[in-house]
Amino acid sequence: MSDEGGETIAEARRLETGTSRAVVVFFALACVGLAVDLWSKHVAFDPHFVPGPRQPIAGGWATFELTTSFNEGALFGVGQGWTWLFALLSLVAVAGVFFWMFRLGGRSSAWLTVALGLILAGTLGNLFDRAGCHGEVYPEGLVRAGQVRYAVRDFLLFTFGQPETPIGQRYHYPVFNFADVFLVTGAIMLVLKSFQAEEDDEPEEAVQERQAATSDESAGPGGLTTPASNPGTTPPDPLGSPPEEPAS
């Protein structure tokens, strides 16, 4: 086998090892992110949990506090009452993440692997809530009292404004959760990736085709490996060549 063929196979094996590690990172990010989101929601919505006082940030120009809110829409409260639609879109997003990761060669890029892992974590975290798996129900006094609440649990609240401005007049950023953080972070990473130059990363199908081509080149007729030529050995004459006449 030539040196060029050996280098090609070594490079293909290196890419294969890299993609295997990317899969581990992808699922690890998704699982850890999902666990953090669900655990934080469980703690914040525990009836016995008492949140601390509002905390000033950046000299009072921003504040942070823990509160509890149910969102039956999407990010920023858009589309209230359309929980079932956003649940279906979440399923589509999960399928899209896996398709991008494993069919479109997303795992060949470390940046895309992290972005898709974060998006999967956030999507599953909010899908868990939209499916009503949290077990929360509407309180007494409401029309749907006792019914399962198919809504996303939010609890992180930031406000912005001048320190002397009363809290009611400050800008209240929409209440969110860690799943939203993972989703937005992954989406921003994808946007930044779109502005980057094309990398030399190859899709998995291209790597497999190159491996197959290399194997075919290194094998002779019938699948036998063609031996390398030896400089000290004179190759046999081609078939049909006339024999050399002895010198007179």
Catalytic-residue membership of 237:
no
Residue 47 tokens, joined? 């009836």
Judge whether 105 and 201 are in contact, CB under 8 Å. Answer: yes
The torsion angle over the Cα atoms of residues 171, 175, 179 and 184, rounded to 10 degrees, is -20
How would you classify the pairing of strands 55-57 and 152-160? unpaired
> Is the CB of residue 155 less than 8 Å from the CB of residue 44?
yes
CA gap 39, 59 in Å, rounded: 31
Tokens of residue 28, six digits: 């690890």
Q: Cα separation of 48 and 193, whole Å?
A: 43
Choosing from 129, 180, 200, 237, the catalytic residue is: 180
Of the listed 154, 200, 201, 237, which one is catalytic? Answer: 154
The tokens describing 25, both together, are 């990172």
* Two tokens, residue 16: 């294969």
HSE-CB of 223 using CA atoms within 13 angstroms: 1
Alpha-carbon span 104 to 202, nearest angstrom: 10
Q: How far is CA 109 from CA 67, 102, 197, in A?
A: 38, 11, 13
127 vs 33: CA distance, rounded Å: 13
* Residue 201 annotated in active site: no
110 CB-side CA count, 13 A? 4
Which residues are known catalytic residues? 154, 180
